[in-house]
Amino acid sequence: MAEVKEIIEKKESAFSFGKEEMKLLRDPLNDNNPVTVQILGVCSALAVTTLLTKAIVMGIAVTLVTAFSNLFTSMLREYIPKQIRMIVQLVIIAFLVTVVELALKAFNYPIWKDLSVFIGLIITNCILMGRLEAYAMANKPWRSFLDGIGNGLGYGLILIAVAATRELFGKGSLLDIKIIGPTSEYFLNTNEIWMLSWYTANNLIILSPAAMFIVAILIWIQRSKNRKLIDIS
Tell me the pLDDT of the chain (233 aa) as tens digits. 545 444 444 554 566 777 888 888 888 988 888 988 888 888 877 878 888 999 999 999 999 999 999 999 999 999 988 889 999 999 999 999 999 999 999 998 888 888 878 888 888 888 888 899 889 999 999 999 999 999 999 999 999 999 999 988 888 888 877 777 665 555 555 544 445 666 777 888 888 888 889 999 998 888 888 877 776 43
Q: CB-hemisphere CA count at 13 Å for 128?
A: 27
Of 123, 131, 147, 130, the closest CA to residue 61 belongs to 123
Beta strands of the chain (E only): which ranges?
Answer: 173-174, 177-178
Domain residue ranges of the chain, discontinuous segments joined by +: 39-227
Contact yes or no for 58/118 (Cβ under 8 A)? yes
pTM assigned to the model = 0.84
Provide the 3-class DSSP secondary structure of residue 177.
strand
